[in-house]
A and B are shown apart, each in its own frame.
Chain A
Amino acid sequence: MAEHIISLQGVTKEFDTKGGKVVALKDINLDIEEGDSYGIIGLSGAGKSTLVRTINLLEQPTEGKVLFNGNALTGLKGKDLNIHRRKISMIFQQFNLLMQRDAIGNIMFPLEIAGVPKPDALKKAKELLKVVDLEERAHSYPSQLSGGQKQRVAIARALASDPEVILCDEATSALDPKTTRSILSLLKRINEERGITLVVITHEMEVIKQLCNKVAVIENGEIVERGEVQQIFKKPKTKAARRLFFPDGDSREKPLTKTSTRNRVRLVFDEATAGEPIISNMIMELGAPVNFLYANLDVLGGAQKGQMVICLAADKETADKQKEYLAAKGVEFEEIESDDSFGEEVSD
């Protein structure tokens, strides 16, 4: 039991609304291991925020169990729940800092709640300000800080109670791309250096790519696909995963689809296969051309991944030979069905 730091078992959440019952989560089973940086990705309204809120019981699941280090949190109330909550910190899209307290006062807040003596709390808060690189803003109030600085204060506050897990609910969605990168690298450092488990809720694939080792794709309140980020990137099984991983696939292909909808394959190159001119060699050896539709380079958790969509020869025999060739060279590929419009618009 102990290896799963967080375990959701058959978690269902229903909301009663004026229009009747709405099922936000359907029978979610999810195990998160210690040290994971576990991404949960989905479009708006997929249920991912509700999902993360069931972990610390901000939302009471209608059915199912939430286990933390093997202990059931569901069913706990008041003090018993609060003691566990101190080990599961949370950061938010809107930062949720106390506006009437300065940076250091905000960081001291969870310690104050836990009854830590003030001098100790102050000492710790100062250290944490250093960790998030904001020493000079100790006495600034949230209204005087930028979005990125506010999130840094929130991260320091999250660290104050020495948590085992930090839940990140769209933590970078309100930030610009540059600030997002710096916050993500700070979170990654916290995950790697302190071994704190992260649960990362996001609608942006970039966040998953930069920060997470595992990912679950959630759609309409259900987890439709899950696994190592590298694996899902190579071979997404579901349309939902494909749509999230390659949101711009469709737009780039559209002008080409009329002439080349058949025999499309998506290739993934990693460091082992990227060094060789495999496609060039294949064209020369088999004497059949291919059509290049799309190519891109991604960084997944520090490792470079190239992906390419090409259209193989029109006749099946040659196409099969080409596939054999690619397989022999160790290139990961998957066929794309011609009717699969991969990538509807990813909202916000």
Chain B
Amino acid sequence: METQALISLLGEGTVQTLIMTLVGTLVSYLIGLPVGVSLIVTGPNGIKPAAVYNKIMGFIVNVIRSMPFLILMIAFMPYIRKIIGTGIGTWATTAALILAAWPFVARMVEQSLMEVDPGVVEAAQAMGASNMQIIRKVLLLEARPSLLNGAAVATITILGYSAMAGILGGGGLGDIAIRFGHYRFQPDVMWITIIVLVILVQIMQEIGVRLAAKLDNRIN
């Protein structure tokens, strides 16, 4: 393939991958963060235990998390097509990513919030803080470094999913690797997309770790 064409192809693929990953992660957090918080709050040791809600939500999260991403995407393809009008390309893949990733995000958030010292929550309760104040000012702030590290892991996982979606014509770098690298026997294209993916993952990991460390007041 001509270098010029390859570069523009890769450029386009990278942009598509970034859109899918970032939009997918953002929307997954819009759903997963409140759900993760609610799982902690309504848990048996939470500030407002609600066993029924906790069990049902935990079950939904577990069911979706146990479906492999590709299977889930194929299974939901007809519905995605109905809702957004297409079953392939960047936006269809983004929708599938959100569907698969929000439960994962919810569990990551739950895990981070579990690390908050229950004694600090108790102290806030003793001060007369409302549950909303405890969530905003204690749980989320105390867990901030862990939440940011979790966000880096979630973003990288979603990037990986988006590349997998390439096999179903999902757009982005994964799509290029499959179409050119695999079907057209162009191993050079395959390896270049892999290198670009590795670089993207490195950048995301670095941003997450540095941000988490910078915003952590426990060690300095």
* Chain A residues within 8 Å of B, Cβ to Cβ: 56, 58, 78-79, 81-86, 88-90, 92, 94, 96-102, 109-110, 112-114, 141-144, 161, 167
Contact = CB atoms under 8 A, between A and B. Distances in A.
Given A110-B127, A113-B133, A142-B218, 14 more contacts: A85-B127, A92-B119, A92-B123, A96-B122, A97-B120, A98-B120, A98-B138, A101-B141, A109-B137, A110-B128, A141-B217, A143-B218, A144-B220, A161-B128
A315 B138 CA distance: 70
A104 B117 CA distance: 20
7 contacts: A83-B128, A88-B126, A99-B218, A101-B217, A110-B127, A114-B128, A167-B126
Interface residues of B, number: 23
Contacts of B216: 100
A82 B119 contact: no
Given A96-B120, A100-B142, A100-B217, A90 B126 contact: yes
Given A94-B119, A143-B217, A143-B219, A100 B141 contact: yes
Looking at chain A's contact residues, is the secondary structure mostly helix, strand, loop, or mixed?
A: mixed
A82 B194 CA distance: 56
A82 B128 contact: yes
Contacts of B119: 92, 94, 96
Given A99-B218, A102-B217, A143-B217, A90 B133 contact: no
Contacts of A90: 123, 126-127
Contacts of A109: 124, 127, 137
B218 A98 contact: no
Contacts of A112: 137
> Which of A79, A83, A92 is packed against the most chain B CB atoms within 10 Å?
A92
A231 to B, nearest CB: 32
B3 interface: no
Nearest to A88: B126
Contacts of B142: 98-100
Nearest to B142: A100
B130 A99 contact: no
B130 A98 contact: no
Contacts of A92: 119, 122-123
Contact of A113 (B122, B127, B141): B127
A316 to B, nearest CB: 57
A142 B219 CA distance: 10
A59 B128 CA distance: 14
Contacts of B123: 90, 92, 96-97
Main secondary structure of the interface of B (DSSP, over half): helix
Interface of B: 117, 119-120, 122-130, 133, 137-138, 141-142, 144, 216-220
A82 B117 CA distance: 21
Contacts of B144: 100
Given A99-B142, A100-B142, A100-B218, A161 B126 contact: no
Contacts of A78: 130
B51 to A, nearest CB: 14
A112 B129 CA distance: 9
Contacts of A81: 128
A269 to B, nearest CB: 42
Contacts of A114: 128
B195 to A, nearest CB: 38
Given A96-B119, A96-B123, A97-B120, A79 B218 contact: no
Contacts of A79: 130
A170 to B, nearest CB: 12
B190 to A, nearest CB: 45
Contact of A85 (B126, B137, B217, B220): B126
A101 B120 CA distance: 12
Contacts of B220: 141, 143-144
A81 B127 CA distance: 10
| Pairs of residues from A and B, 10 with the lowest C-beta to C-beta distance, nearest first | A85-B128, A82-B128, A96-B123, A96-B119, A90-B126, A86-B128, A141-B217, A110-B127, A143-B218, A113-B129
A15 B83 CA distance: 51
A56 B123 CA distance: 11
A98 B141 contact: yes
Nearest to A161: B127
A115 to B, nearest CB: 10
B127 A96 contact: no
A166 to B, nearest CB: 11
Contacts of B120: 96-99
A96 B217 CA distance: 15
Contacts of B124: 109, 113
Contacts of B126: 56, 58, 85, 88-90, 167
A220 to B, nearest CB: 25
